[in-house]
């Protein structure tokens, strides 16, 4: 096999894992003590805690608090080798992958590249709207929000000021609901103190959802309570409402209605990241790769897909399991066991998702939670949401920093991270 990544001699079979999200990182750590050579590839050198991107975007947390260096995580995993690289193509017949650092052979290939924002082919929306699938995009959104209010101070034109202050969010899932609540609390507690010259009673926050309810992956009880909480925060929720176009200034709805806003946040859907070299018929709903009950692709027993990139179709779940962190982690745990069983010549165990519940926070003391045997709302659900997310963050130091930020914001009704940070272009000098 090619040794473009300067890897040491193989120790057992080589497992190449693409993607260091919840699924890929969990699998790499689990396999580290087994008789495999594990190679983990990711385009970034850090793991990102996606559920809290919205708090970076609304100045509640620093990006470093929800990001953790992959090499730090793997310091004591001597049989796991990490490389910063991007996958370009899989040549599955040759058991080889093409990457940005060259070709690499594998014995088992595990794809865990996750999903990206789905703009449903609308190029204008993709060009002008802001999505939130990475720390970089969360920072971009934070900059956009703060920069708009700086610009609003410098204009006396009513419609232009209104457009700069208004925020429109598409998608009534957990991301959209949590963003709407966080921005509404900024409007109530923070922005009027920073920009006393602006009249924030004129600022509208609009949440658009294409279906007839919020939080479609959760119960009616939770969806209805989220709607009630957002109403109490003066968020305009529009159900059965679709966005048709966006030019950076106005959001055009299906039916012709327009909403003035310089900030359209797109949280209306995801699509699995595609890979060159796979058969066209290997994709299912949402561009996800079809796998069997062992997470193997249908056309090759040595290639596995886990996490948001995979779809395991069953009678109970014709659209696969939900694209959430718990599914990804559980799939990684099962695949860890199955790769060992493969080595031992044993039959593989099938995967079945154990739904431990879902939750979403709307704001201070406001959250909804669906547990297997009960449903919660309000303050207790909010405390549970805080605890679960705090414990899920990697690194003791990051946990402490996040807790301190949350405690400070709770006591002071303020966030201290409202910084406009932009890259500076390098000056060009004439010879």
pLDDT (tens digit, 9 = 90+) per residue, 232-252? 999 999 999 999 999 999 999
What six digits make up the tokens of 87?
Answer: 């996958």
| Token reading at 165 | 């202050």
- DSSP string covering 207-223: EE-SSSSS-TTS-HHHH
Strand 167-170 relative to strand 205-208: parallel, antiparallel, unpaired? parallel
CA 49 vs. chain centroid, Å, equals: 8
**pLDDT at residue 233, rounded to an integer:** 96
Give the number of residues written for the chain.
431
Helix (H, G, I), strand (E, B) or coil at 257: coil
Q: Among 323, 282, 297, 313, which Cα is nearest to 114's?
A: 323
What the chain holds in terms of domains, given with CATH numbers, is 13-43+85-117+271-343 (3.50.50.60), 123-268 (3.50.50.100)
In three-state secondary structure terms, 330 is helix
Contact between 195 and 147 under an 8 Å Cβ cutoff? The reply is: no
- Residue 262 confidence (pLDDT): 95
CA 191 – CA 274 distance, rounded (Å) = 40
When pLDDT is averaged across residues 16-20 and rounded to a whole number, the result is 96
Q: Indicate the range of 269-273, 362-366, 403-407, 423-427 predicted with least confidence.
A: 423-427
What is the side-by-side order of every strand in the sheet holding 87-91?
A: 87-91, 96-99, 102-105
Question: How many whole angstroms separate alpha carbon 325 and alpha carbon 307?
Answer: 8
Mean pLDDT of 123-152: 93
Q: What is the mean pLDDT of residues 96-108?
A: 93
Residues 6 or more apart whose CB falls under 8 angstroms from that of 40 comprise: 17, 20, 24, 25, 28, 70, 74, 80, 81, 82, 83
Average pLDDT, the chain: 91
For residue range 296-313, what is the model confidence (pLDDT) as tens digits?
998 888 999 999 999 999
The predicted structure's pLDDT at residue 1: 46
Question: Whole-angstrom Cα distance, residue 54 to residue 40?
Answer: 27
Secondary structure of residue 144 in the 3-state scheme: helix
Say if CB 15 and CB 339 are below 8 A apart: yes
**Predicted pLDDT at 146:** 93
Give the chain's radius of gyration (CA, Å).
23
In 19-173, alpha helices (H): 22-31, 53-57, 70-73, 123-128, 135-153, 158-165
Q: What is the pTM of this model?
A: 0.91
Closest to 41 (Cα-Cα) out of 92, 91, 103, 85:
85
Q: Where are the beta strands (DSSP E) in 291-339?
A: 303-305, 310-311
Of residues 77 and 329, more confidence is placed in 329
- Say how far apart CA 36 and CA 23 lie, in whole Å: 18
- The model's confidence at residue 387, banded by pLDDT at 50, 70 and 90, is very high
**Structure letter (DSSP) for residue 93:** T
Q: For residue 223, what pLDDT band results from cuts at 50, 70 and 90?
A: very high
């Amino acid at each position: 096999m090619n040794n473009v990544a300067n890897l040491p001699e193989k120790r057992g079979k080589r497992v190449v894992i693409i993607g260091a999200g919840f699924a890929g990182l969990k699998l790499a750590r689990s396999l580290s003590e087994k008789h495999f050579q594990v190679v983990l590839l990711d385009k970034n050198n850090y793991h990102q805690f996606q559920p809290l991107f919205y708090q970076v975007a609304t100045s509640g947390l620093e990006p470093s608090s929800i990001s953790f260096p992959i090499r730090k995580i793997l310091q004591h995993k001597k049989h796991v080798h990490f490389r910063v690289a991007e996958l370009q193509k899989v040549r599955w017949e040759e058991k080889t992958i093409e990457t940005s650092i060259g070709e690499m052979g594998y014995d088992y290939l595990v794809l865990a590249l996750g999903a990206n924002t789905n703009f449903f082919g609308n190029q204008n929306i993709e060009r002008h709207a802001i999505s939130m699938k990475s720390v970089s995009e969360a920072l971009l959104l934070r900059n956009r929000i703060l920069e708009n209010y700086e610009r609003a101070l410098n204009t006396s034109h009513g419609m232009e000021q209104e457009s700069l202050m208004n925020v429109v969010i598409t998608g009534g899932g957990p991301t959209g609901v949590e963003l709407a609540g966080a921005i509404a609390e900024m409007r109530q507690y923070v922005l009027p103190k920073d920009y006393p010259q602006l009249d924030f009673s004129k600022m509208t926050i609009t949440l658009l959802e294409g279906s007839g309810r919020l939080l479609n992956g959760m119960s009616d009880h939770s969806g209805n309570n989220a709607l009630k909480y957002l109403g109490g925060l003066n968020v305009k929720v529009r159900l059965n409402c679709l966005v048709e176009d966006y030019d950076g200034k106005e959001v055009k709805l299906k039916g012709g209605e327009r909403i003035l806003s310089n900030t359209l946040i797109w949280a209306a859907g995801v699509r699995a990241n595609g890979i060159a070299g796979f058969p066209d018929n290997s994709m299912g709903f949402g561009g996800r790769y079809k796998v069997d009950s062992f997470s193997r692709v249908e056309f090759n027993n040595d290639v596995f897909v886990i996490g948001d990139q995979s779809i395991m179709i069953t009678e109970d779940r014709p659209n696969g399991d939900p694209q959430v962190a718990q599914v990804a982690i559980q799939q990684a745990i099962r695949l860890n066991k199955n790769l060992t069983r493969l080595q031992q010549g044993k039959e593989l165990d099938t995967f079945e998702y154990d739904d431990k519940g879902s939750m979403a926070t709307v704001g201070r003391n406001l959250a909804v939670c669906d547990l297997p045997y009960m449903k919660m709302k309000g303050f207790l659900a909010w405390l549970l949401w805080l605890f679960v997310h705090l414990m899920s963050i990697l690194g003791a130091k990051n946990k402490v920093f996040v807790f301190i930020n949350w405690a400070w914001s709770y006591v002071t009704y303020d966030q201290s991270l409202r910084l406009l940070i932009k890259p500076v272009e390098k000056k060009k000098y004439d010879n």
